[in-house]
Amino acid sequence: MRGASVEGRGTSGEAKAVSPSAPHTPPPAPDTRPSSLDTLTQWQLIRLRFAKHKPAVVSFYLLILFYLVAALAEFVAPYDRGWSDVEKIYCPPQPPMFSWSEGWHVRELERRIDPVTLKNYYAASDRIVKLGFLPKGEPYKLWGWIPAERRLFGVEEPGTGRWYFLGADKYGRDVFSRIIYGARISLSIGLVSIIVTFVLGASIGGISGYVGGKADTLIQRIIEIINSFPHLPLWLAFAAVMPPDWSALKTYFAITIVLSLLGWTGLARVVRGKILALREEDYAVAARLLGAGHGRILFRHLLPGFTSHIIVSLSLSVPGMILGETALSFLGLGLRPPVVSWGVMLQDCLNMDVVANYPWLLTPVFLIVLTVLAFNFFGDGMRDAADPYSAK
Characterise 291 by phi-psi region: left (phi > 0), alpha (psi -120 to 50), beta (else): left
For the whole model, what pTM was predicted? 0.80
Spatial CA neighbour of 73 closest among 155, 185, 158, 169: 185
Q: Which of 236-264 are b and which e, b meaning 16 or more Cβ less than 10 Å from the residue's Cβ?
A: bebbeebeeeeeeeebbebbbebbbbbbb
Long-range contacts, 325-330 (Cβ 8 Å, 24+): 325/185, 325/186, 325/189, 325/190, 325/255, 325/259, 326/186, 326/368, 327/232, 327/235, 328/235, 328/236, 328/239, 328/255, 328/258
Distance CA 71, CA 16 (A): 87
297-322: average pLDDT:
81
Which of the four pLDDT bands, split at 50, 70 and 90, describes residue 79? very high
Q: Are 241 and 234 in contact (CB under 8 A)?
A: no
Task: State residue 30's pLDDT score.
Answer: 53
Spatial CA neighbour of 121 closest among 94, 92, 95, 96: 92
Task: State residue 226's pLDDT score.
Answer: 86
249-263: average pLDDT:
82
Give the 3-state DSSP-derived string for the chain, with helices as H, strands as E and coil as C: CHHHHHHHHHHHHHHHHHCCCCCCCCCCCCCCCCCCHHHCCHHHHHHHHHHCCHHHHHHHHHHHHHHHHHHCHHHHCCCCCCCCCHHHCCCCCCCCEEECCCEEEEEEEEEEECCCCCCEEEEEEEEEEEEEECCEEEEEEECCCEEEEECCEEECCCCCCCCCCCCECCCCCEHHHHHHHHHHHHHHHHHHHHHHHHHHHHHHHHHHHHHCHHHHHHHHHHHHHHHHCCHHHHHHHHHHCCCCCCCHHHHHHHHHHHHHHCCCHHHHHHHHHHHHHHCCCHHHHHHHHCCCCHHHHHHHHHHHHHHHHHHHHHHHHHHHHHHHHHHHHHCCCCCCCCCCCHHHHHHHHCCHHHHHHCHHHHHHHHHHHHHHHHHHHHHHHHHHHCCCCCCC
Distance CA 390, CA 384 (A): 9
Hey, which of 128-132, 275-279, 308-312 has the most confident mean pLDDT?
Answer: 128-132
Q: In this model, does residue 15 exceed pLDDT 50?
A: no
Residue, of 221 and 118, whose pLDDT is higher: 221
pLDDT-above-90 percentage for the chain: 30
* Residue type (1 letter), 82: G
Q: In this model, does residue 32 exceed pLDDT 60?
A: no
Which of the four pLDDT bands, split at 50, 70 and 90, describes residue 384? confident
Q: In this model, does residue 17 exceed pLDDT 80?
A: no
364-378: average pLDDT:
93
Task: State residue 9's pLDDT score.
Answer: 47
Task: State residue 1's pLDDT score.
Answer: 42
Task: State residue 389's pLDDT score.
Answer: 52
Residue, of 239 and 62, whose pLDDT is higher: 62
Q: In this model, does residue 372 exceed pLDDT 70?
A: yes
Residue, of 198 and 2, whose pLDDT is higher: 198
Domains of the chain: 86-172 (no CATH), 176-385 (1.10.3720.10)
Which of the four pLDDT bands, split at 50, 70 and 90, describes residue 16? very low
21-37: average pLDDT:
53
Distance CA 47, CA 57 (A): 10
Main-chain dihedrals φ then ψ at residue 154, nearest 5 degrees = 180, -160
Which of the four pLDDT bands, split at 50, 70 and 90, describes residue 37? low
Q: In this model, does residue 103 exceed pLDDT 60?
A: yes
Spatial CA neighbour of 345 closest among 312, 355, 353: 355
Burial class of residue 71 (count of CB atoms within 10 Å of its CB; 0-12, 13-18, 19+): middle
Q: In this model, does residue 256 exceed pLDDT 80?
A: yes
Task: State residue 7's pLDDT score.
Answer: 44
Task: State residue 25's pLDDT score.
Answer: 58
Task: For 330-349, write each residue's pLDDT tens digit.
Answer: 877 778 888 899 999 998 88
Q: In this model, does residue 49 exceed pLDDT 50?
A: yes
CA angle, 59 then 64 then 70, to 5°: 125
